[in-house]
A and B are shown apart, each in its own frame.
Chain A
Amino acid sequence: AQSVTQLGSHVSVSEGALVLLRCNYSSSVPPYLFWYVQYPNQGLQLLLKYTTGATLVKGINGFEAEFKKSETSFHLTKPSAHMSDAAEYFCAVSPFPGSQGNLIFGKGTKLSVKP
């Protein structure tokens, strides 16, 4: 069965520090991969996605993620955290490339940013 594992339910960084949120997936075929962000009292919005092509993908608000097939990982990074980045982040995988298959979500990582 397909699955998504996010390492660390809570991550705390200082403002200006590197943000690294980890995501590993299991899939028998190369999947489509997504990161969503949920700000307090809001719905989820897409941060970035990998489908095909370049394995380093850039998203909104300075975030980026790299698809590493050999490590089955899709970690999310941002060089310098800002207070406004405090939110919950969800990694998701679509195990069947193309229009089939429902997204499978990880359990989320809550990011705190300290002044």
Chain B
Amino acid sequence: DADVTQTPRNRITKTGKRIMLECSQTKGHDRMYWYRQDPGLGLRLIYYSFDVKDINKGEISDGYSVSRQAQAKFSLSLESAIPNQTALYFCATRASSNTGELFFGEGSRLTVL
């Protein structure tokens, strides 16, 4: 089983719908991240959490919200999806004690029509 699991892996939805992407990890890491990948733009940070009570905005947080339900679970929500949120979303984890290495899930491909 994967150490960082994202669900769903693929989702097609319509404009205005609420969408939740979920991430769970078995690595025991305290830090969790949500990134968005768009062709030619690389990875951009949406939100990150250093522990259950510490959640921070990244560079592109508008239109998104997150919830850290437990150390192992970090979900990303789009309250009212719009077409330019069509992208590949990655969850990642990191131990606070290490040298910065991130461990990624396999991604959730979201299409907003």
Known A43-B90, A43-B107, A44-B90; contact A94-B99, beta-carbon cutoff 8 A: yes
A101, closest chain B residue (CB): B100
- What 1/0 flags go to B83-113 for Cβ under 8 Å of A? 0000000101000111111101111000000
Question: Among B11-19, B35-43, B68-76, which stretch is in contact with chain A?
Answer: B35-43
- A45 CB to closest chain B CB (Å) equals 7
Q: Contact between B104 and A90 (Cβ–Cβ < 8 Å)?
A: no
Looking at chain B's contact residues, the main secondary structure is loop
Q: Which residues of A contact B45 (CB under 8 A)?
A: 102
Q: Pick the contact of B48 from A44, A99, A102, A105 — CB < 8 Å?
A: A102
Q: Which residues of B contact A102 (CB under 8 A)?
A: 33, 45, 48, 58
Q: Which residues of B contact A43 (CB under 8 A)?
A: 4, 90, 104-107
How far is it, in angstroms, between the C-alpha of A61 and the C-alpha of B32 when the chains are bound?
27
Q: How many residues of A contact B (CB 8 A)?
A: 21
How far is it, in angstroms, between the C-alpha of A84 and the C-alpha of B101 when the chains are bound?
24
B43, closest chain A residue (CB): A105
Q: Contact between B43 and A9 (Cβ–Cβ < 8 Å)?
A: no
Assess whether A34 is interfacial by the CB under 8 Å rule: yes
Number of A-B contacts (CB under 8 A): 49
Assess whether A51 is interfacial by the CB under 8 Å rule: yes
Looking at chain A's contact residues, the main secondary structure is loop
How far is it, in angstroms, between the C-alpha of A107 and the C-alpha of B100 when the chains are bound?
19
- What 1/0 flags go to A19-58 for Cβ under 8 Å of B? 0000000000000101000000111111001010000000
Q: Which residues of B contact A45 (CB under 8 A)?
A: 104
Known A42-B106, A44-B90; contact A32-B100, beta-carbon cutoff 8 A: yes
- B95 CB to closest chain A CB (Å) equals 9
A80-115 with Cβ < 8 A to chain B? 90, 94, 99, 101-103, 105-108
Known A49-B101, A94-B99, A99-B97; contact A9-B40, beta-carbon cutoff 8 A: yes
Q: Which residues of B contact A (CB under 8 A)?
A: 4, 33, 40-43, 45, 48, 58, 90, 92, 96-102, 104-107
Instruction: Give the top 6 A-B pairs by smallest Cβ distance, nearest first.
Output: A43-B104, A94-B100, A107-B42, A105-B43, A44-B104, A43-B106
